[in-house]
Amino acid sequence: MGGGPVGAPRGAAKQHRTVSRVTTILETVAADPHGVRLNVLAGVLDAPKTSMHGLVKGLVATGYLHEQDGAYHLGPAVGALLAPTAGPLVEAARPTLRRLRAEFDETVMLAALVGDSVVYLDTVESTQVIRYSAPLRRRRPLYPTSSGKCLLAHLDPQQRDAHLREHFTDPAERERVQRELADVVADEVAYNRGETVPDVSAVSSAVLAPRTPAAVAVAGPTSRVADRLDAMADAVRRAAREITRRLR
């Protein structure tokens, strides 16, 4: 049989207007550490601001851009999902993650806010045969993971309310989650008692560093950690504060 090699493209690659606009937006923002405003992006692409607005907001929603004071910067998705090596957040947290694992011998994770998802950036696993293994660099819902609860609790109130309205259509359930998130802020910790994975419990605390929404968590089989959750909560509070200090 004739034909080209397996996997060879059937035709020459061609530019796609939307893809080209998205990549130009990302490249333009990446080149300016001070951020780029919407009117500048519209000028670079010679496109109406109304056309740019939808693309830019979509990139913010998926975490590839971050808006601050009307200017756009690269968002956490670039490092959390695309970068092959550890960034400053992971490097700052790694010693603390190792210490937490040594203290409890349960799996310790570092999570980041990526758009409206939580992504685990790093993990130090328990040495025990039966343990929780966290999937890295994959989007997961913010709720009900313990890390996601922390990140959601510390979102800008308008963003948080919009997220809750979208994901909790029942008013009573939404009110319950709002009360839980208020407790997360007050207590500096969030719990997940088998809500994501049956028989796995976790506790998490937010890393409150500028432009680096993150959380540190400890997780393990409920049968092994249920009686230690209070001690773990104290430890992750201290860990989150320690990482926050390193990043400032």
Distance CA 31, CA 124 (A): 34
Residues of the chain with pLDDT under 70: 1-14, 83-86
Does residue 186 fall inside a structural domain?
Answer: yes
Whether 65 and 113 share a structural domain:
no
Domain boundary among 74, 95, 122: 74
Positive or negative torsion for Cα 139, 141, 146, 149: positive
Contact criterion met (CB below 8 Å) for 204 and 184: no
Helix and strand tally (H, E) in the chain? 10, 9
CATH number at 60 reads 1.10.10.10
Whether 184 and 113 share a structural domain:
yes
pLDDT at residue number 248: 83
Does residue 9 fall inside a structural domain?
Answer: no
pLDDT at residue number 242: 96
Does residue 100 fall inside a structural domain?
Answer: yes
pTM value is: 0.75
pLDDT at residue number 9: 46
pLDDT at residue number 87: 81
Distance CA 199, CA 61 (A): 32
Domain boundary among 27, 51, 74: 74
Query: Residue with structure tokens 């550490």?
Result: 33
Tell me how crowded residue 27 is: count the other CB atoms within 10 A of its CB. 10
pLDDT at residue number 100: 98
Distance CA 23, CA 30 (A): 10
Tell me how crowded residue 111 is: count the other CB atoms within 10 A of its CB. 30
Does residue 183 fall inside a structural domain?
Answer: yes
Contact criterion met (CB below 8 Å) for 162 and 152: no
pLDDT at residue number 50: 87
CATH number at 166 reads 3.30.450.40
Does residue 137 fall inside a structural domain?
Answer: yes
pLDDT at residue number 12: 54
Whether 242 and 162 share a structural domain:
yes
Does residue 153 fall inside a structural domain?
Answer: yes
Domain count, the chain: 2
Whether 186 and 127 share a structural domain:
yes
Whether 67 and 110 share a structural domain:
no
Does residue 7 fall inside a structural domain?
Answer: no
Range of the domain at 65: 17-74
Contact criterion met (CB below 8 Å) for 202 and 120: no
Does residue 115 fall inside a structural domain?
Answer: yes
pLDDT at residue number 245: 93
Domain boundary among 74, 95, 116: 74
Contact criterion met (CB below 8 Å) for 113 and 214: yes
pLDDT tens digit sequence for 157-185: 998 999 999 999 999 999 999 999 999 99
CA nearest neighbour of 237 among 179, 182, 190, 181:
190
Whether 196 and 119 share a structural domain:
yes
Whether 156 and 219 share a structural domain:
yes
pLDDT at residue number 212: 76
Whether 63 and 108 share a structural domain:
no
Distance CA 170, CA 219 (A): 29
Element of type H or E holding 193: strand 190-193
Whether 52 and 135 share a structural domain:
no
pLDDT at residue number 86: 60
Whether 200 and 88 share a structural domain:
yes
Whether 167 and 99 share a structural domain:
yes
Whether 173 and 61 share a structural domain:
no
Q: C-alpha dihedral over 91, 187, 197, 129, to 10 degrees? A: 60
